[in-house]
Amino acid sequence: MKFALVNGEKTEATLGAKGICRACGSDLIAKCGEIKIHHWAHKGNRNCDPWWENEKEWHRGWKGHFPVDWQEIIHRDKNGEKHIADVKTDQGWVLEFQHSYLKPQERRERDAFYQNLVWVVDGTRRERDIPQFKRALSEGAMISAKLKIHSVFSDECALLREWVGCRASVFFDFAEGNKSKGGSLWWLLPWSPGGSAFVLPFSRADFIGLHQTKPEQGDLDFRAILKILIESVSRFISKSRAQTRAQELQLLAQQQQFLRSRGPKSRPQYSVRKGRRRL
């Protein structure tokens, strides 16, 4: 982890330092080698939060966009269960930065534990993910030119398969590193009926800005933007279902018209007395 308590202060690891875990109160030792990023570790091979993953520069880069007071926040539910959130904003959003593979069961548990959760996922972990995602985009369809929402199928894209159906918003970070605010993320909306996924590009700077500061009066906050996007997808789905139903009714009417045009003589006749078919 990035922070420990040293003399009661939230402090980063330095060579030879000792600290206290803010989550469990155990002793921590500073790990300040030349290979891994500097971090605090529990004595022995243990961690008090089973959801915690070893951090890389990618994690630290994202965390660094937000105030220290928002980083590594201990979150408790009504039953006393606690976990360490990567970032918790002053608007109540929990931001989790995920590099490694996450089992579906754990992802669902985290979705349920954090009520206002946003995932940022490292899309550069596997070489195949970027070309697969681009292929899914090229084979998908734009459902809103104004909002740039794409409908794509997740079957041939491992990254989409792993995250489609998530109840929280997911942002894929395909950039190399995370040292600047430039470029775009890809937002996977928390709406995925029938295996479809709905994605759109979203400015990295806008994402950071929306969560860094509260919007000015009249500006949209993150929750309002999400609502607009979900409503747009909902309208598209309703329209598609109505069109599908209309096509089904049209096909049924054509079939009935075809049968009527053949007339009664074209239908198989059966003898009532013998119970046999008369040709």
Distance, in Å, from the CA atom of 237 to the CA atom of 190, rounded to the nearest integer, reads: 14
Residue carrying structure tokens 């003898």: 271
Task: Please compute the mean of the pLDDT values over residues 187-202 and round it to a whole number.
Answer: 84
According to the model, what pLDDT value does residue 42 have? Answer: 87
Rounded to whole angstroms, what are the CA distances from 27 to 1, 40, 42, 71, 268?
13, 10, 6, 20, 87
Distance, in Å, from the CA atom of 189 to the CA atom of 133, rounded to the nearest integer, reads: 15
At residue 181, does pLDDT exceed 80?
no
pTM of the model: 0.81
**Is 196 strand, coil or helix?**
strand
Q: Name the least confident of 6-15, 19-28, 228-237, 242-251.
A: 242-251
Read off the pLDDT of residues 228-268 as tens digits, 9 standing for 90 and up.
999 998 888 776 656 556 666 666 666 777 677 776 655 55
According to the model, what pLDDT value does residue 178 have? Answer: 47
Distance, in Å, from the CA atom of 127 to the CA atom of 106, rounded to the nearest integer, reads: 24
Could you tell me what percent of the chain has a pLDDT over 70?
82
Environment class of 157 (CB within 10 Å of its CB; exposed 0-12, middle 13-18, buried 19+): buried
Element (DSSP H or E) covering residue 82: strand 82-88
